[in-house]
Every structure is written in structure tokens, then in C-alpha cells.
Structure 1
Amino acid sequence: MPRLKPRPLAATLFALFAVPAAQAQEVVKIGMAGPLSGEIAHLGKALENGAVLAIDDLNARKLTIGGKKVTFKLQSEDDAADPKQGTAVAQKLADARVNGVVGHVTSGTTVPASRIYNQAGIPQISPSATTAVYTRQGFAGAFRVVANDAKLGGTLGRYAVGSLGAKRIAVIDDRSAYGQGVADEFVKSARTKAQIVDREFTNTKATDFSAILTKIKAKKPDLIFLGSMDAVAGPLLRQMKALGMPVKLMGGDGICTDALPRLAGDGMRDGEVICAEAGGVDASREKAVAEWTKRFHDRFHSDTQTYAPYAYDAVMTMAAAMQAAQSTQPSRYLPALKRVKHDGLTGTIAFDAAGDIKDGALTLYTYKAGARTKLEVIR
């Protein structure tokens, strides 16, 4: 038997410490849930892409949390903006033991999904769900990085009567948690100085509004408020034009998208639509957001839509809390998330006791020459 050569000291030390070094790494799974199919898939995909950019930026930093090198990974799931599918997706993410969830996109999926994340002890930050119900449930891990419907609908109501001088208003909502919620808040605010001449209901998949609009036209409103999404607003605008209704259409963030002119075809007049999105960038942030938007376009060759930057900020805020707590475990970084003050892309992100963003901004827009045009940012 040949004599074995002594093993070099360096090789011996490598063998002893290689396995522990390999173990001192951790994959941090961030769940992402939104509509990647269906009528508003363009919104869900934009938010998913915003989260992807955040994951890329975090991994480029080669972070160490709690003495371990961490790699962030996005687990993205399609809830199709359907509450039933949303709960199935939430259970899937809970079973996968994700470290946190960014989502859901719509209010109608966010609320039922939040119950599952709460039971599993998984923190959840929605980048876009605005229904006040979400954070009023008292769940410790429920947060959002945009203003809620109470502020959104109330602000639009005051703007309708104060700045636009609306006196006779018709209201349509799609009976979703978001649509009904923002419409209810709008009515509360607007009816103090204007008459609500009609309130009609539709659904999120409707495309024929001739009966509703004919009834509304007879009431001679000077403004219509729509609580729904851009997929509903587009055909509604086309049919308003066909019926000869030169009336302003107002809505919340659901209709306030870059895709609305395309969905409306030739049905939109300049200045006809007034809308607001929950969120807003002050002048000091505009350059950074513009640079980020260019990077988004270069990477994905698509529009950011409304909330992609907030999905980015939601991921980064969650990671900031993990760094502050020096732990990626939900129960350990949750207290840090409640106290977080993150200098985000869209502004400073901190939460109140309910999980709502503090000092949330709203941005008012109209459309001119087929492009969304900012009117003003309100806090």
C-alpha cells in the first residue's frame, strides 16, 4: 500500500471550515401577489417588475443579516384580482414559509389574504390596496405604503365641489372592496356641497354601460364619479362619447393609469378625466424617480403604471426592517417594521399604529393628448 502524503495545513483548514461557511448563507423569500392574468394584468405585471428591481438591488449590495450572507428571492403568484384565488395564493405563500409578502395589488384580494398571513405570522406590505378595511382589522403585520380610500375619496370629493365646481354628481361603482369603498368616501365628502343625483352599480368585468349611462344622462349631471379600474373606465368613456355626454369623469387610482388612453380609444377628450392616485412624489424626489423609471423601461420595455415604484419601496422597506432587527425571521423583524423610517424612492416611509403610511401623499392628474398630466401633489 503506497504511503499517503501529509495533507497541507491550508487544505485541512479549508475542509474544516468550508461546510460551516456554506451554511452561513440564507435565502430570504419575499412573496409577491397580484393579477398577472385577466383584465388588469398590466397593473400586476408592473408591480411585479418593480419588486424584481428591488430584489436585484438588494442582492447587488451583498448584505449580511444576523451574521449570515443573504440572497433575496422573489416568489411571485397570480391572484387574477379574484378574492378566492387570492386566498389560495396566500395559503401557498404561507405554506412556502416566505419571510414577508408584498401585495396584494387590489383591495378585494388584499383583505381576505391578510387574514391568512396574520394567522401565519407573516408581515404583509401592500403597495397599492387602498381600502380602509385592510388596516382596520387590527392585524399586527398589515401595512401599506400608500394613502387609504378615506383620504383618497375624501380628497376627490372636496376637489370636485371646490375646484371643479360640481353641483350635480352621478356615482358608479363596481361593488368591489376598492370600488365601493372609494365611492362611499367620495360621496361622504362631496354631498356636503353638491347633490348626488344618481348612484349606479356595475361589476369589474362589465363592458356595456349603455343602460346605466342612459339613466344617468337623464339626470343631467355635471360630473360622474367612477369607483372602479381602468379596464372599466376605458369602455365607459367610449360609450359616454357615443351617447353625447360631455361630462367630466372622476375616479381614484384604479382608473388613473398610463393605460387608460389606450383603453378609451378615441373616447377621451383632453381634460375630461380627473383622477388621483394614492401616493405622490415631491419635487425633491422627481429626479430619482425619473432615473428609476428609465431603468425600469430599459429592463422590462414596458410602462411602470401607477404603483411599480411603491412595490419597489415595499420590498426595500421590509429589507430595511430586517437589517435593523438583524433577523429575517418575521416575528423578530416585525417590531422593527413597526418603527421603521426608510428613506425610500417615493419618500420617507413610516407607519402609524394601524399600519397605514404616515403623511401619505395623493397626486391629482388629468389627461392631455393621450398622456397623463400631473396637476398637483396633496398631503
Structure 2
Amino acid sequence: MKKQAVVATAAVLLSSSAGLGLASAQEVVKIGHSAAVTGPVSYFGKDTENGARMAIEALNSRGAVIGGKKVRFALMAEDDGGDPKQATNVAQKLVDAKVNGVIGHETSGTTIPASKIYHQAGIPQISPSSTSPKYTQQGFNTAFRVVANDVQLGQALGRYAVRNVGARRVAVIDDRTAYGQGLAVEFAKGLQQQGAKVVAREFTHDKATDFNAILTKIRATKPDLVFFGGMSSVAGPMLRQMKQLGFNTKMMGGDGICSDEIHKLSGGAMADGQVFCAEAGGVDAAGKAAMDNFRAAYKKRFGIEVQINAPYAYDAVMTMAEAMTKAGSTAPARYLPALANIQYKGVTGLVAFDARGDIRDGTITLYTFKGGRRTVLAVTK
């Protein structure tokens, strides 16, 4: 072989080995995210996706090292459309892509069926927003959430309805989704524990637009308060039709209606102080500065305000990354035990899970609306 050929071959081999060394030096850690980024609640889904993306960018900017190796995090964002069937298809797609972990899904109705697929694949899943108790009651060691569940939320709303709003006679409506129905059931329990009465129980669906029949029936029972288990995409038009019927009673709901979007969707029919809602999460005075900083950074990055769950999606990603760091591995089976025992101080407070995967000491924030904007009433547990 000629000298020039030997040199050229050596150069190619050296270049190839250097490339292999670079590839092995920086592992790509794939984090899946799934939520409804199209459809009537897309503003919630995009909110959590943005929060997860901010965390990915923060991790990469600091140059993450896990198990002595440089890693680069990549977000695999998928749209489940808020549909349970689509959610299972997305879950299988993420499993087939061999993601290292999943943040999502957004709603309880999508999170629960998808969780079975992640569990079968042994992939850890942290929901930043799903509140149905059923999610963590399935016995899946891969399922976690960073917000309080509907038992906590319903009890807090029941107490507030009686003690602070003065409600004694309450009509309850839900949208028949896993989230809406579950929250309505827990609220009714909390309400009755306080000595108040459910005077009407009605149902609609999550794409309904006409509520005149059920509102007319409810109005006849003369309730002090209407509780709605569902999303603001339904609650907004419902408030508009309540006003058209001259039925201007107060409304209460969970985090599904706890967005400034409800004012727009009501067509301006929502009066100041008419609607009360609770967010599964929230920070006390000690955590306010960190949350304010996050909100400012979010607005700078995306040009819009946080809806609700972006900081929880951010903390979910950071918690997962911290578990990987503690385990010294990005392999799901290796870092899963570290995740189950994690104690991570995040933007939303301390993230630590109980034996089921529920957040320990989850907080609840109660709001009303003034001038179409959410106003904090109280942070409680």
C-alpha cells in the first residue's frame, strides 16, 4: 500500500473513531410529552407542552451529565386531542420511539388509558395536570402526578362553598368525562360533609353547546350555587345561557374552568365574583418569588401568560431528570426507584410521592375572577 493511502486510511479511521466517541459521549435522552394541543382545550395542552419545553431547554443550557456522561435532552411532543383512543395511539408511538420517560397526559380521560401502555413498557410517567384518583389507584409503579387529586380538590371546594360562599342548596352538573364526573362526585361528598344539600344532579357532555333544558330544570330547584365538573370550553357557554335565562347564580368548578379563557368563552356574561374555582397546586408566600420568576420567564419565552399547569410540567421534567441523575442512569428500570423516592425542590414546591405515586401534601389554590382575570382567594391543603 502506498504511503499516501496509508495516511488517508488512518485519517478516515481516526475521524470515524472520533465521531463514535462524540456520539457515545453525548447521549440523547428522549422525554415524551402528550396533551391536547388541538381542539377546545388546546390552550391547556399547549401550556403544559410549553412548560416541559422550558425545562428541556434549561437542562440543555446547563450541560447535563448523568452517570459521568454528557447528555442532551430532547422533547418528543405529541397531540392526543383530548381523546382517549388517540391517547393510547400516542402512548404506543412514544413507547415504540423508546422514550426514556413521559410527561402527560393532560386530562384524566387520556392519562388513565395511556398509563396502562407505559406501565407495560416499564416507562415512568408523570402527569402535570390529571387529578382523577383512578389514575394512581391502578397499582402501576410507573404512574406519578405532581398535583393534588380530586379527593383533595373536591373536599376543599365543598368546604369553601359552605363556609365562604354560604351555599346550602347546590346543583351539580358534570360532563361525563373521567375528570368531570370524578370531580363532581368528590365535591358532592365534601359538600355533604359540611351539611349542605345537592338539590339537582344533571349531566351534559364535553362538546355540548346547548344547556337550556338542564338549566331550566335546575333553576326550578332554586340553588345557591351551580357546581360544574368539566372544562371552561363548556362552562363559558353555560354561563352565557344562564344569563340569558335570568339565572345569575354563582358557579364553582375545578382547575378545568380555572383559566381566564372562561371569561372570553362566556361572551362577557360572567360577572365579577360569580365564578369560583380551584387549581390542583399553588404556592404559599415562601414560594411566590420563584413562581413569579417562572411566569416572567415563560412570558418572555412564549409571549403569553401561563394558563395553569406549565410550572407543573416544568417541575415534572426536572424531577424526572433529577431521578436519572441520582440513579446515574437514564434507563427507565434503573431510575424508576429513585423517582419513587425523590425529594425535589421545584418551582411549585417540594415534589415527593407517596406509595401510590400521588404528590405528598398537595396544595390547592382557590380563585375567583375580577375583570375577567383570576384572583387568588386562598392557598390550602
TM-aligned CA deviation for residue 16 of structure 1: 8.5
1:309: which partner in 2? Answer: 311
Query: 8 Å contact 1:258–1:306 — kept in the other structure?
Result: no
SS at match of 2:259: coil
State how 1:86-235 maps to structure 2 within 5 Å.
86-192=87-193, 193-235=195-237
Q: Deviations over 1:255-283 (max 9, x none)?
A: 01121111112211110001101001111
Runs of 5+ unmatched residues, structure 1 = none
Q: Matched residues in 2 for 1:301 and 1:212: separation?
A: 39
SS at match of 1:165: coil
Kindly tell me: are residues 235 and 4 of structure 1, through their superposed partners in 2, closer, same or farther at Cα, counting changes over 3 Å? closer
State how 1:2-81 maps to structure 2 within 5 Å.
18=18, 19-81=20-82
Query: 8 Å contact 1:104–1:129 — kept in the other structure?
Result: yes
TM-aligned CA deviation for residue 4 of structure 1: 5.0
Identity of aligned residues (%): 60
Runs of 5+ unmatched residues, structure 2 = none
Letter of the 2:161 partner, please give it: A
Q: Matched residues in 1 for 2:46 and 2:257: separation?
A: 16
1:324: which partner in 2? Answer: 326
Q: Matched residues in 2 for 1:339 and 1:317: separation?
A: 11
2:262: which partner in 1? Answer: 260
Q: Matched residues in 2 for 1:133 and 1:303: separation?
A: 31
**Pairwise CA RMSD of aligned residues?**
1.9
TM-aligned CA deviation for residue 337 of structure 1: 0.0
Kindly tell me: are residues 5 and 174 of structure 1, through their superposed partners in 2, closer, same or farther at Cα, counting changes over 3 Å? closer
Letter of the 1:158 partner, please give it: R
Bigger drift between 159-168 and 81-90 goes to: 159-168
Q: Matched residues in 1 for 2:91 and 2:229: separation?
A: 26
SS at match of 2:257: coil
Q: Deviations over 1:85-137 (max 9, x none)?
A: 11111111111110000000000000000000000100000000000000000
Query: 8 Å contact 1:258–1:303 — kept in the other structure?
Result: no
Query: 8 Å contact 1:24–1:67 — kept in the other structure?
Result: no
Query: 8 Å contact 1:35–1:79 — kept in the other structure?
Result: yes
1:83: which partner in 2? Answer: 84
TM-aligned CA deviation for residue 12 of structure 1: 11
Q: Matched residues in 2 for 1:297 and 1:323: separation?
A: 29
Q: Matched residues in 2 for 1:200 and 1:368: separation?
A: 28
Letter of the 2:265 partner, please give it: L
Query: 8 Å contact 1:35–1:44 — kept in the other structure?
Result: yes
Query: 8 Å contact 1:237–1:268 — kept in the other structure?
Result: yes
1:246: which partner in 2? Answer: 248
Give me the TM-score of the superposition, normalised by structure 1.
Answer: 0.96
Bigger drift between 31-40 and 190-199 goes to: 190-199
